[in-house]
A = this chain, B = another copy of it.
Amino acid sequence: AIYPSSSPFLTLHAVRQWSNVPFFTVPLARAHGKSFAHRSELRQAKRIVVKLGSAVVTRGDECGLALGRLASIVEQVAVLQNQGREMMIVTSGAVAFGKQRLRHEILLSQSVRQALHSGQNQLKDMSLPVLEARACAAAGQRLYDSPPGSDDAKLLDTFYPGDQHSITYGTKSRVGIGGMEAKVKAALWALQGGTSVVIANGTHPKVTGHVITDIVEGKKVGTFFSEVKPAGPTVEQQTEMARSAGRTLASLEPEQRSDIICTLADLLTERKDEILSANKKDMEHAVSRLSPAMLKRLSLSSSKLNSLSIGLRQIAVSSQDSVGRVLRRTRVANKLELEQITVPIGVLLVIFESRPDCLPQVSALAIASGNALLLKGGKEAANTNRILHELTQEALSIHGVKDAIQLVSTREEVEDLCRLEKMIDLIIPRGSSQLVRDIQRAAKSIPVLGHSEGICHVYVDHEASVDKAIKIIRDSKCDYPAACNAMETLLVHRDLLRTPLFDQIIDMLRTEHVKIHAGPKFASYLTFSPSEVKSLRTEYGDLECCIEVVDSMLEAVDHIHKYGSSHTDVIVTENEDTAEQFLQQLDSACVFWNASSRFADGYRFGLGAEVGISTARIHARGPVGLEGLLTTKWVLRGEGHTAADFSEQGSMTYLHENLPVAQVLPGCRTTS
């Protein structure tokens, strides 16, 4: 039972003495307070009773106790106990429980050698004729019969790893006592007594080892019973609402989508006071908890809102020709014409950290591309996100598609959201590389657009211009060292060692306070070397970098293939042939000649707003603009054409004639 109060309660140290404690004869204290409203609150649970259904306790083949399962359950309970919770295990399935007790009584009077020798067979033989079912059940049955709020009923609270399939398929109980109906009834009674209940499958081999700890961590395992109605729709309902309204959004005229974005841009400035006051609340709450850098990202200002509003108007412009653009037209045969057109991807899930200005930006991109959107922001920006989302829905309402963008409760676990396959078409994480990695791991069957690391290289060729090399290295490393497109490793051609250019590079890095680590080869050239790198595949994200020496441009390419992250890599050289070979051979999303790695960015590329930078090799690669939020569909218009018409006996032949399409370069438009 989860009792938020601290009233006196029997503490069972179940791991150490779980087999023969006569717990249901001991009077228990009453519960106080309300049950939890949401799973995420289960972490606060102080006292937890784990009740095991008979199918959890016993083996599927009826050959006695499911030792492996029991042991792993006991291990989990021990973990929770060691966190300072008060834990109790109740074995149930009234009959199995009673039977087990009676069997135990017989067993306990044997010697160990005798018991092991006779094995389970003997125990199994002690079946119903010997241990009469109703007699066995009597004790357990008392639990179900006790009125809510009574002392005994408390035993049933909270965790109840029964066989969840029984909810739909009826009880699997072999003797018809207990079963799922009784479990649900008991759960409801427990709820009335103020405790929360979760019923989960306790027999699935893949989850048995962590089902209980998962539930306490708030994960969506099994069914959560709560007396308190959740404040809004579930995330599944939100997704359905978003998909449905999203389809309407996609079928609007481009001008209407543009309208919505402009309205949102207006609201950001008109309702500035409301936004800033919500943001002030978040800041006040965060000031003692977040680092100065994080606080800066969290804070909004009048001028931030203004430039946000200007950015939105640019997206409104580019939204005009994004959805429904014809990419290809083919005359397949006489009066049979094929078009490939752009369409939205469907439902996007964008998970972003701290920066609340992300919300209107991403919303505008989703509206422009006709996609439905689920937004999941950080807890620390909850108030700001709420008002920004309200304004977004207000803007969407002008064309009746309010529900196309949903704000997901901060209580939802990212991991659970990543499991909503078939409901969500693409996940876009916007935040730390740790966030991206976590999501890539959790989202098994939903594609994730993003990159988890940016290990960018600048290779200075022996034919490099001194000025360009210095400028580019400084900018690539120092302009914004925390960015994913900042340089992490500087590769230098061997011939440059002990030249003035090399000394100038080192001087510049020292002046800029860049900490230098030496690659193994570089270190071997030096009498006194800086600290050697731990790994050539390191993203410092700070005023630090690695320097390594290579013998040739080709060795630089090999090095980057081996240690890079295929994000952005640069060559500095005056030799065009060398440069073109580098650009051709290097297999990265962005390859630059005599330009800073910092140009790898949607805005700088002229893509307008940026969704993110992808290092994936399918769909979108490199900086991703509106394009990345679109897919295509094929539209064929005929006059009763059939495939049989084109068979050897048929009357028609394929023409496959390319027809002209409107001359808009895909997704390419100026942003000014």
Where the two chains meet, the residues of A that have a C-beta atom closer than 8 Å to any C-beta of B are 16-17, 19-20, 66-72, 75, 107-113, 115-116, 119, 205-206, 209-210, 247, 251, 327-328, 330, 332, 336, 338, 340, 343, 345-346, 425-426, 440, 444-445, 447, 449, 465, 467-468, 471-472, 474-475, 479-480, 579, 583-585, 587-596, 598-600, 604-606, 616-619, 621-623, 631-644, 646, 654, 656-658, 661, 665-672
Contact, CB under 8 Å: A593 / B637 = yes
CA distance A631 to B623 in the complex (A): 13
Selected A-B contacts with CB under 8 Å, 22 pairs: A68-B75, A68-B209, A109-B113, A206-B209, A251-B585, A332-B599, A336-B599, A346-B587, A444-B444, A447-B447, A468-B640, A471-B642, A583-B637, A589-B634, A590-B634, A594-B638, A596-B642, A604-B643, A618-B619, A621-B631, A656-B672, A658-B670
Known contacts A205-B209, A475-B643, A633-B621, A665 near B670 by CB under 8 Å: no
Complex CA gap A19/B112 in Å reads 12
Q: Are B584 and A251 in contact (CB under 8 A)?
A: yes
Question: Which chain B positions have C-beta within 8 A of A449?
Answer: 618
With a cutoff of 8 Å between Cβ atoms, the chain B residues found around residue A210 in the complex are 205
Chain B's nearest CB lies how many Å from the CB of A488? 16
Say whether chain A's binding surface is mostly helix, strand, loop, or mixed.
mixed
Q: Is the CB of A332 within 8 A of B604?
A: yes
- Interface contact B247-A585, CB-CB below 8 Å: yes
Q: Would you give the shortest CB distance from A79 to chain B, in whole angstroms?
A: 11
Known: A641-B595, A644-B475. A583 touches B328 (CB 8 A): no
A658 contacts B654, CB within 8 Å? no
Instruction: Give the nearest-CB partner of A629 in chain B.
Output: B618
Q: Which 6 pairs, one residue from A and one from B, show the smallest C-beta to C-beta distance?
A: A595-B638, A68-B71, A606-B656, A475-B642, A468-B640, A598-B643
Question: 6 extra interchain contacts, Cβ-Cβ under 8 A, other than A467-B640, A472-B642?
Answer: A108-B113, A327-B665, A343-B587, A447-B616, A592-B638, A618-B618
- List, in ascending order, chain B residues with CB within 8 A of A654's CB: 604, 606, 672
Is the Cβ of A618 less than 8 Å from the Cβ of B590?
A: no
Q: Which residues of B contact A116 (CB under 8 A)?
A: 19-20, 108
Copies in the complex: 2
Q: How far is the CA of A345 from the CA of B633 in the complex (A)?
A: 22
B119 touches A108 (CB 8 A): no
Q: Which residue of B lies closest to A590 (CB)?
A: B634
Say yes or no: A633-B622 contact (C-beta < 8 A), given A327-B666, A345-B617: yes
Least CB distance, A481 to chain B, in whole angstroms: 12
In the assembly, what is the distance between CA of A489 and CA of B645, in Å?
22
Contacts of A587 in B (CB 8 A): 247, 343, 346, 633
Residues of B within 8 A of A589 (CB): 633-634
Residues of chain B with a CB closer than 8 A to A471's CB: 640, 642
Please tell me if the beta carbons of A595 and B251 are within 8 angstroms of each other in the complex.
Answer: no
Q: How far is the CA of A231 from the CA of B519 in the complex (A)?
A: 38
Min C-beta distance of A241 to chain B, whole Å: 15
**Residues of chain B with a CB closer than 8 A to A332's CB:** 599, 604-606
- CB-CB nearest in chain B for A116: B19
Taking CB atoms, residues of chain B closer than 8 Å to A670 are 656-658
A593 (CB) vs chain B CBs: closest residue:
B637
Within the complex, the shortest CB–CB distance from A564 to chain B, in Å, comes to: 13
Tell me the complex Cα distance, A550–B385, Å: 42
> Given B632, B644, B668, which contacts A622 in the complex, CB threshold below 8 Å?
B632
How many angstroms between the C-alpha atoms of A338 and B623 in the bound complex?
12
How many angstroms from the CA of A547 to the CA of B444 in the assembled complex?
Answer: 36
In contact, B599 and A641 (Cβ under 8 angstroms): yes
A318 to chain B, nearest CB (A): 12
* CB neighbours of A585 from chain B (8 A): 247, 251
A480 nearest CB neighbor, chain B only? B643
CA distance A109 to B69 in the complex (A): 28
The answer to whether A633 touches B328 (Cβ under 8 A) is no
CB pair B640 A472 closer than 8 Å: yes
Docked complex Cα distance between A671 and B656 (Å): 7
Contacts of A440 in B (CB 8 A): 445
Give every chain B residue within 8 A of A346 (Cβ-Cβ): 587, 617
Partner of A640, one of B119, B247, B465, B606: B465
Q: A17-B119, A19-B116, A107-B112 are in contact. Are A596 and B641 (CB under 8 A)?
A: yes
Q: In angstroms, how far is the closest chain B Cβ from the Cβ of A534? A: 17
Contact at A669–B665, with CB atoms within 8 Å? no
Q: Which residues of B are found within 8 Å of A110, using beta-carbon distances?
A: 111-112
Most buried by B among A16, A444, A604: A604
Question: How many angstroms from the CA of A359 to the CA of B591 in the assembled complex?
Answer: 34
Q: Residue on B with the closest CB to A599?
A: B636
Q: A640-B468, A661-B665 are in contact. Are A330 and B606 (CB under 8 A)?
A: yes
Q: Would B668 and A328 count as touching, CB distance under 8 A?
A: yes
- A575 → B minimal CB distance (Å): 13
Most B C-beta atoms less than 10 A away, residue of A19, A447, A638: A638
Closest to A614 in B: B631
Q: Is the CB of B666 within 8 A of A658?
A: no
- In this complex, which of A426, A479, A637 has the most chain B Cβ atoms within 10 angstroms of its Cβ? A637
Q: A634 contacts which of B20, B67, B622, B632 (Cβ < 8 Å)? A: B622
CB distance from A102 to the nearest CB of B (A): 15
Q: Which residue of B lies closest to A68 (CB)?
A: B71
State how many angstroms separate the Cβ of A51 from the closest Cβ of chain B: 19
Q: Bound state CA distance, A78 and B585, in angstroms?
A: 55
Nearest CB of B to A181, in Å: 28
Known: A596-B642, A637-B593. A619 touches B619 (CB 8 A): yes
Please, how many angstroms separate the alpha-carbon atoms of A17 and B346 in the complex? 58
- Residue among B327, B474, B623, B668 making CB contact with A642, cutoff 8 Å: B474
**What residues of chain B lie closer than 8 Å to A70, measured between beta carbons?**
67-68
Determine which of B16, B617, B661, B672 lies in contact with A426 in the assembled complex, contact meaning CB atoms within 8 Å: B617
**A253 smallest CB distance to B (angstroms):** 11
